[in-house]
Amino acid sequence: MTLEEAIRGRRSIRKFRRDPIPEEVLREILDQARWAPSWGNTQPWEFVVLTGNALDEFRTTKHRKMVAGEAFSPEIPMPEVWPEHLNKRYKENGKIVLTAMGIAREDKEGRMRLYENMFLLFDAPCLVVACIDAKSLVEYAMLDIGLVLQTLCLSAHDKGIGSCIMAVSVGYPALLRKIAAIPDDRRIVMGVVLGYPDPDYPLNRFQRVRADISEFVRWVS
Ligand SMILES: Cc1cc2nc3c(=O)[nH]c(=O)nc-3n(C[C@H](O)[C@H](O)[C@H](O)COP(=O)(O)O)c2cc1C
């Protein structure tokens, strides 16, 4: 696979086969991801890899919390208000997703099924949780975490393994801390699910869009 194919071909996968990923393959992915750049080569990331019963317990309890309407409280807070032009892209993405699934906007049950699929982590057999030392400069380490997660997703893609970076996977941090034994001096930043993609699922196949570079690049000479 060329780098171009990896960059263009990686996409968020939203339904996985249940087959586990062999541990040596997961190790190779993590081994490649560590070559991501970081400030001063500090490599501030720490990963917790959940599979098997631990992941299933997390998945089902999280789903129960979502159905019960328990509030979402990630440790890296999400912005409450997005700039207008970004919100527009978010809404367009939502429309594309619903159309790909054949779900009408007013179909509440259909939308709920989508949420449930998401809260069940798309049936992924593996969740990698990225943490940092809670005492570090939290904002600054976000840059390094972003870089290492993209590297991880590209490496997975190169090995035929799908990924989805998931804010939803870290929305109930107390539960995650308990099941994965994450100590209080670590901040939970983001999770990525990994697994073999279900090739027929519409959200693994729809045509994605990106803004043209003219929308976000300004040239100065
Ligand atoms: C920080 C971050 C959090 C994300 N959280 C979720 C999530 O909770 N659920 C989800 O379905 N996708 C999530 N995504 C995936 C994005 O929706 C996806 O990257 C975006 O729509 C672009 O699509 P692509 O990854 O297929 O290119 C997240 C991506 C990032 C970078």
What CATH number should be reported for the domain whose range is 3-77+120-205?
Answer: 3.40.109.10
- Determine the Cα–Cα distance for residues 38 and 148; give it in Å rounded to an integer: 8
Q: What's the pLDDT band for 158 if we cut at 50, 70, 90? A: very high
Structural tokens at position 89: 């892209």
pLDDT at 55: 98
Spatial contact of 9 and 160, defined as CB atoms under 8 Å apart: no
- Determine the Cα–Cα distance for residues 210 and 202; give it in Å rounded to an integer: 19
Is the predicted pLDDT of residue 71 greater than 80, yes or no? yes
Is the predicted pLDDT of residue 137 greater than 80, yes or no? no
Sequence-separated (6 or more) residues with CB below 8 Å from residue 7? 154
Amino acid identity of 121? Answer: L
Spatial contact of 62 and 178, defined as CB atoms under 8 Å apart: no
Backbone phi and psi for residue 199, each to the nearest 5 degrees, phi listed first: -70, -20
Q: Is the CB of 11 under 6 A from ligand 1?
A: yes
Q: Report pLDDT digits (tens) over 190-200.
A: 999 999 999 99
Domain range annotation of the chain: 3-77+120-205
pLDDT at 122: 98
CA 14 to ligand 1 center in whole angstroms: 10
Structural tokens at position 140: 């600054």
Q: Report pLDDT digits (tens) over 11-69.
A: 999 999 999 999 999 999 999 999 999 999 999 999 999 999 999 999 999 989 988 99
Q: What's the pLDDT band for 136 if we cut at 50, 70, 90? A: confident
Spatial contact of 44 and 132, defined as CB atoms under 8 Å apart: yes
Q: CB neighbours (10 Å) of residue 50?
A: 24
Q: Is the CB of 153 under 6 A from ligand 1?
A: no
pLDDT at 67: 87
Write b or e for each residue in 188-209: b if 16 or more Cβ atoms lie within 10 A of its Cβ, otherwise e.
bbbbbbbbbbbeebebbeeeee
The upper half-sphere exposure of residue 59, i.e. CA atoms within 13 Å in the direction of its Cβ, equals 20
Q: Is the CB of 174 under 6 A from ligand 1?
A: no
Q: Report pLDDT digits (tens) over 86-116.
A: 999 999 999 999 999 999 989 999 999 999 9
Percent of the residues in the chain that have a pLDDT greater than 70, as a whole number: 100
Helix (H) or strand (E) holding 8: helix 3-9
CA 204 to ligand 1 center in whole angstroms: 12
For the CA of 149, the nearest atom of ligand 1: 31
Spatial contact of 66 and 175, defined as CB atoms under 8 Å apart: no
